[in-house]
Structure 1
Amino acid sequence: MPAGDTTLRPEIAHSWWRSERSGLTPAAPQPRVEPDAVDRRGRLRTAAGPVLAELARQLGETDFCVVLADRAARITELSGGGRALRDRLESLGVVSGGVFLEETTGTNSLATAYELRRGVAVHGEEHYLEPFKRFSCYGHPITHPVTRRLVGVLDITCPSAAGSPLLAPLVARAARDVEEGLLRTERAAERRMLAAFRAATAGRQRPVLVLGDGVVLAGPAAVALLDPVDHLTLRELAAGSGGGEGTLSAVTLASGRTVSVRWRPVEGSDGVLFELAELPETGAPARRPGAPVPGSAVYIGGAPGTGRTTAARALADAAGVAVRTLDASEALVRGDADWLARLERAAADRPGLLLVEDAHLLSETCAVRLHRIMARRSGPWTVLTGAPLAGLTGAHAVLAADCPVQVELPALRERTAELPGLVRTMIDGLGLGGRLHFTPAALAALGAQPFPGELRELHAVVRDVAARRSAGGVTVQDLPERYRFGPGSPAMTPLERAEHETITAALLDCGGNKLRAARQLGISRTTLYSRMRALRITG
C-alpha cells in the first residue's frame, strides 16, 4: 500500500500495493499487446456481440467506450466512443490484443476486476498509472454459467467528467446478458459434442473421449484407460496443432501405458474428439514425461494458498527424505547476504530435499546464485515453490525453466470436484473424523464460492464450523454467513450471486449497520433493503 496514503478505498489501495510489488511505477507503464492471440471466432465474442452493440447504442458514440477482455485479460473487442476518445485510449494500449493485468497496467477496472473476480469502478486519481487518471472505468467479470470459471471482463470507460454511479449496475447487467448468451451457445455446442461422441462410439469398443470447456464425454474404455491428468496432456496436444486435426503415434499416459492418439475438432463447438489405441508393451513401462523423481529439480507454481508447500512436502514424503526449507521472503527482511549464506550452508549440507519457498520473491542476485547451485552436479535435490508459471519473468523464469518438472496447481474454484475430499481431510486433521461431516447442500454452497484465499480460506471455514459444531451433519445454516449462498436457489442469476456476495461482505465490514453498508456500496438504503429482500439476505 502506498506509504502514508489513507485516502484510497481498501480494494484500490491493495491494488496499488500489488502493482508496486510487480515492479510497475506510475509513470512507466509496461504495455503488452498480443494481437495474434485474440480468438476472433470464440464463443465469448459471439455471445458478447449483441450486448456490446446494445451498450454502444445506449451510451452513444462520444463519451463512452465499451471494452471486452478474455480469460487472459486480453482485449478482444472495443465498441462505441468517439474518434477522439478512441485515439486517447489506443495511445494507452487499449487496443485489440492489449493485455490488461495489474502487473502491466496497474489499477483499472479491467485488470482489477480480473484480479478480484468482482465488479470494480476506478475513478480518476484512483488509477495507478498517471496517464489513466483522466478516465473513469467500470468493470465486471464474466463467469461461465456452467463451469463458473472466469471467461472475461466487460468494461465501460469514459472521461472522468462523464462518470456516473449508474454505470456500475449497467455493466453488471450487461455481463449477465453475456453469460446468458454463453449458456445458449453452450447448449448448442454440447449437443454437437454429444452427437460427435455417439457417432464415434457407435458399435465400437475402442477408447473415445470428447473434451470441451467444462465438458468431458468418455466411454467405458476411455474411463478405464485414462487418468484425469491425461486429459490435460490430450488438451495440450490438440492446442499444439493450432485447432486442426492431428495424429501422434505414441503418447505415454500417467499409468505408464502407451497409446496412439488421433484427434479432430468438433465443428460448432470448442470440443475436440480423441480416438485412442493402446500399444503393446515392448519392455519396461516408460516413465511419464515430467513425473517428479528424486534428484530432478521441481517448480511448483500456483496462487498463494493452493497447496504449494503441501505438494512439495509430499514429494519428500514419497521419497522418504528429510526437508530443509529456505523462505525467499526472509531475504527481504534479513538482506541478500544473510540469505545467500544460509543457502550455501544448506547446499553444503546436502539435505534430502532443499525446499525454496516463494522463489519468485528472490532478488536477481539471489536467483542467479540459486541457479548456479542447482546447476552443480553435486547440488541438492531442489524444489521451488512460487507464483504461477505464466507470471514469471527474468531470472525467476530462468529458475523455473531449469526445473525439468513443472507443476501448476489450479485454483480451488477449478477443483470443485475435489471439495468433498478436501473437506474430509481437513476434518480429519482437526481430530473430528467420523464424527463431523458436511451435508451435500453445505458442500454445494462452498462449491459456489470464489475462495480468493484458496485452501487456507477453506480450512478457516472448516475450522470455524468445527469450533461451533463438533459432531453431526453440517448444514448450510452452520456455515459462516457469507458462505451460505449456494447454487441451489433456482432464481439466482450470475448477477444476483455477485450482488449477494457484495452486500453480505459490506454488511460484515460495517458490523451489520445497513446505513453504513449502503454508503459503502454507493447505493441508497431503500435500494439496499430491496436487494436484501430479493436475495433473501437476513441480518
Structure 2
Amino acid sequence: MGDLAARRHLLVSARAEFLERADADLRGVPDHVAASWRRSVASGVQPGVVTTEYHADLDVGSRLVRCARPVIEQLAEQIADIPTCVALTDDRARLLVRRDSSPLFGRVADRQYFAQGFGYAEGSVGTNGVGTVLEFGESVHIVGAEHFVESLQPYACAGAPIRDPFTGRIEGVLDISCLSENSSPILHSLVRSAAARIQQNLLADRNQQQQALFDAYARVDGRSRQAVLAVGPRTVMANSPMQTLLDAGDMVALQDHVRFVMLRHPGVDDRVDLPSGARVRLRGSTVTAGGGVAGMVAVVSVLNEVDGSAGPLARAVRAADSGSGAWRAASATVARALRAGSAVLVIGEPGSGRFTLLSELYRRTHETGRVVGIEAEHVEAAPADVAATILRPESPSVLPVLRDVDRLSGAAVDALLGAFGGGIAPSVAATTAETPHDALLALFRTSATVPPLRNRTGDLPVLVDALLAELAPGRDVRLSRDALRLLGRYDWPGNVGQLRDALASALRRRPVGRIEAADLPEFCHSAPRSTLRPVDQLERDAIVTALRDAGGNRVAAAAALGLARSTLYRKIRQYGITV
C-alpha cells in the first residue's frame, strides 16, 4: 500500500511541477504518459475537469459495432464482479457502446461524460485509455494520477486499439474503466485479448469483394515462393518477400500502377520502371466479385537493381522518361500514334497532363513542330472554321489538338463532322475527360488513358523537380522531406495543374532555398474524408492559417478564430488538418 501511495505522490508532484514549468523533469513518469501530458498541454486541455463535446452523428450500427458486441458482452461477464464499464469508441474517440457492470458505476461514468456520443480524444480530455491509445498507436493502462485531468484521477482505464485486419488502420478502441483501487494489470491483458477477438470478427465479416481478394491472394501466395502483392481500392496485402523487395517509394508507385491497370485489364504482364530506377516485372490477374473489381493479385520480380553509380540528375532524367507504369504505357501509345500520323484521343482528368503529353511527344518526333490547342468553346462557335484549320493547317508540322471534346454538344459534333466532308487529316489529336459523342469516336484510330496524379504518387519527386525548374529557373529551390511527404498525402483533385499552383504559392513564401511543409498552401495540410464545399474550403484554410500563425498552439488558434476549443478540435479532425 505504501508503494502505491509513494507512486501517487510522485505522479501528483511531477504533474504539479509540469503545469508550472513546461520544461520540468518528468523523471519517474512512464514515457508514454509523459508524452501524453505534453500533448495535452500543447492542445490546451483544461487540467481540472473534463471538457468534451457531444456528437449526434454516430454510426451505432456499423460493422465495427456489429463485430464488437458479442465480445463486449463476453468481456463484461468476465469482469462482472468488479464495478466497471466496457466501452467501444470509433477512430475519433467517440463512444459508440458502453456496457456497465452496475447502474451505480454507470452513473459515475455519466458524471465524467464517458457516455455514448461524447468524445474522449486526448486533444480535449487529456491522457486516458481511449484518446491516448489513438495517439500512441498501442494499448495503454492509465491508472489514477497518470490521468492529466484531475477529475479523472480516481479512475483507471485499460484501452487497446482495434485494427482493420487488411489495412492495419485503427478502426476504434476497446476500453475497460474502473475505480483506481479496483485496477489490476489483468484488465490490460483482458482488453488486449478482447480487441484481438474483435479483429478476428472483422476478418470473418469482410465483404464479398474483400473475401474474394483475400482468397485469391492466399492461393497465389500458397503456391509461390516469390513476392506476391494484392491491391484493392483500399486494401494492400504483401507476403514477406514482397515487403522486403522494394523501398517505400517504389512500393507506393507500384501500388498506384496496379490500381490503375486493374480497372482496365483482366490480366497484366508489365515491365514497370520505378522512381528509384529499379525495374520490376508485374504478372497479375484482376479479381472480380459481386459484379465489380475487387482488386488484383500479382507476382513481382526485380529485373534490374538500382544503378547506384548514376548521379541524381541521370536518375531524374531516366525517371522522367519512364514515370509510373500507367504513365509510361500511355506515353508509348501516344508516341506510336504520333509517329504513324494516326489520329489519337487522350483520356484523363482535367489537369492530369493530357495536353502536355501530346505536346512533349510531338516535339520529340517533329523538331520544328508546333501544337495548337483548340478549345471546345471555339468548336461550338465556329465548327466549319475549326474543320478548315484541321484540314488545311498553316504548316505540315502543326498538330491540332481538340481540347475537352466531351464538352461538345451533339449539334457541334454533327456540324464539325459535316464540315470535314467525309475526310479528316490524319495528324489530329483530342483530349477528353469522359467518353465523347459516339460519332466523334469514329475520327480516331488510337486512344490512351493518362492516370490522375493520385495514382502517380511515386512520380511526385520528379514532377516537383521539373515544376520547380520551370517556375524558378536558375534558382536554388528544393523541397524538404517533410514537404514532399505532405504532398504525397494529398489527393490532388486538380492533378498536376493543382500541384503546379501549390509550388507557385510556396515559392511566393520561400523564393530561394529549401521549401518547408509550412510554406505549402493551406489545402495541402488537409486530408478530408469527403469532397469539401467552397465554404468548407474557406473555413479549412482559415483554421490552417490560424494554426500556422500560432505555431501549432490550438488554444491560441481557437482564440484568434473566436471558436471554442472543442469546436476547433472537431474541425481539425473533420478536415484532416495536419499542422
> Normalised by the size of structure 2, how large is the TM-score?
0.42
Which structure has the larger Rg? Answer: 2
> Normalised by the size of structure 1, how large is the TM-score?
0.45
